[in-house]
Amino acid sequence: MAQITFHSATSDDQTAMAALRKIVEPNKGRLRSAAARGPYDEMMNRVPAPEGVTYEEDTVAGVPGWWCTPADEQQAGVLCHFHGGWFNFGSAKAFRHLVGQIAAKANVAAFVPDYRLAPEHPFPAAIDDAEKCYRGLLDRGYTKIALTGDSAGGNLALLLLSRLQQEGRTTTPVGAVVLSPVTDLALTGDTWSSRAEADPYFTRSQVTDLVTAYVGSLDPKSPALSPLYGDLGSLPPIRVHVGNDEVLLDDTRRYVERAIESGVDASADVWESMTHGFLSGVGKLAAANEALEAIGAFLVNRLNGFRIAGNA
């Protein structure tokens, strides 16, 4: 049975993370509204661009987004990646390099939808767009689709898995990889306290404002909003990666534990000294490089040998 694995940090990674903290901690908790969209996208645009990946704008089932396609694409399936940003910021264009890194390791094209954002478009706009995009990829002939997502996008990926399972669809995702997913919008995890100082990005008051902009007066513990409280039975294989210095650590641990209890092939990798979004440090952090390799290997395994319907 899959489990939770802890990875020690190299001395170089510890030094690099200490330097990062000095840069980002002065702005801790300041990304609180749609006004943060520009600075947030600027930050994500700094992720190193992978070699040999091309980008193209497109619209799938009415949802705009970006394709990230490796030059040596070998798999005929497809990834659908939902970006982070606490449902209030983030964009497909800003996340294209991060997703391109994943696509390159998996040797498969990835589509990143620009789902609608709060507060202009509160729940259920984002998850409805996620499902429309998935259905649109099926309509294009993709019969094997893997879901990926980070932070709020991880929430959408896991919710979509459960929504599709409940609908009893015959064609469901072959698996999912999520990075530091938001699984509990009620913010009840112990690490909101135990990692409050260690996390250099988020504060409870900040995230409470962002979540409220998304859910309004709805119950944040509703299974339609928080994957942690849903029916996790019969879901496809799930892999999760999270930093040990994140307030969202318990969102991962509790979700994976519940998934395993429900009979799901699920596991989590917890990376020592890593903060939220550490995969953005690919090429500089050993942890990011190792996590990316593991993600790629899992996705290749889930998509290997499959073909687009109608093609040889």
Active site residue 121: no
Catalytic residue, chosen from 267, 273, 276, 280, is 276
In this prediction, residue 306 has a pLDDT band, given cuts at 50, 70 and 90, of: very low
Structure tokens at 73: 């694409």
In this prediction, residue 170 has a pLDDT band, given cuts at 50, 70 and 90, of: low
In this prediction, residue 76 has a pLDDT band, given cuts at 50, 70 and 90, of: confident
Question: What phi, psi does 279 have (nearest 5°)?
Answer: -65, -20
Strand 53-60 relative to strand 63-70, pairing: antiparallel
Q: What is the pLDDT, as a whole number, of residue 309?
A: 40
Is residue 70 within 8 Å of 107, Cβ to Cβ?
yes
- Mean local confidence (pLDDT), 132-137: 97
Q: What is the pLDDT, as a whole number, of residue 75?
A: 64
- Mean local confidence (pLDDT), 3-27: 97
- CATH superfamily, domain 4-303, is Alpha/Beta hydrolase fold, catalytic domain (3.40.50.1820)
pTM reported for the whole predicted model: 0.95
Active site residue 151: yes
3-class state of residue 157 by DSSP: helix
Average pLDDT score, the chain: 94
Is residue 277 within 8 Å of 150, Cβ to Cβ?
yes
Would you say residue 167 has pLDDT above 90? Answer: no
**Domain map (residue ranges) of the chain:** 4-303
Query: Could you give the angle at which helices 286-303 and 11-24 cross, rounded to 10 degrees?
Result: 100
Would you say residue 307 has pLDDT above 60? Answer: no
* C-alpha span between 259 and 25 (Å, rounded): 33
Burial class (CB in 10 A: 0-12, 13-18, 19+), 160: buried
Catalytic residue, chosen from 246, 267, 273, 280, is 246
Catalytic residue, chosen from 81, 91, 151, 241, is 151
What is the per-residue pLDDT across 109-119, written as a single tens digit (0 to 9) for each?
999 999 999 99
What is the per-residue pLDDT across 79-125, written as a single tens digit (0 to 9) for each?
999 999 999 999 999 999 999 999 999 999 999 999 999 999 999 99
Active site residue 267: no
Q: What is the pLDDT, as a whole number, of residue 311?
A: 32
